[in-house]
Copies of this chain bind each other. A is one copy, B any other.
């Protein structure tokens, strides 16, 4: 696995440092679902601060990651979408509907912990 997944308490944190390829995005989806179950995580944070593009493929995969992780019983949030990236996504017609979003990792953690059932059990 080329994209590292860190664990902080019961939250898995993924910082996308360089633009992932399509294959790496799909691998991340598999890996995160596995890890949520095996490590008993209740939250997943994906930091996209470093990404200059979120195209339709990346967006669809992030949405699927959110769905997969939620099905497994955790919550996922995307943090750090840059303003230019958000603007391009909106123009393209894309949204992260149904996903939690926050400014940065710190706010993302706070947001996850404010979800029912996530903050209470530590």
Interface residues, chain A, with chain B CB atoms under 8 Å away: 29-30, 33-34, 36-37, 40, 42, 64, 67-74, 79-87, 89-91, 95-98, 100-104, 107-108, 110-111, 114-117, 120-121
Contact = CB atoms under 8 A, between A and B. Distances in A.
A36 B103 contact: yes
Nearest to A104: B73
Given A68-B86, A83-B37, A116-B115, A73 B96 contact: no
Protomer copies: 2
26 contacts: A29-B90, A30-B87, A33-B84, A33-B86, A33-B87, A42-B107, A67-B95, A68-B83, A68-B89, A69-B86, A70-B101, A71-B81, A71-B85, A71-B89, A72-B81, A72-B86, A72-B103, A73-B79, A73-B81, A73-B101, A73-B102, A73-B107, A74-B103, A97-B98, A107-B121, A111-B116
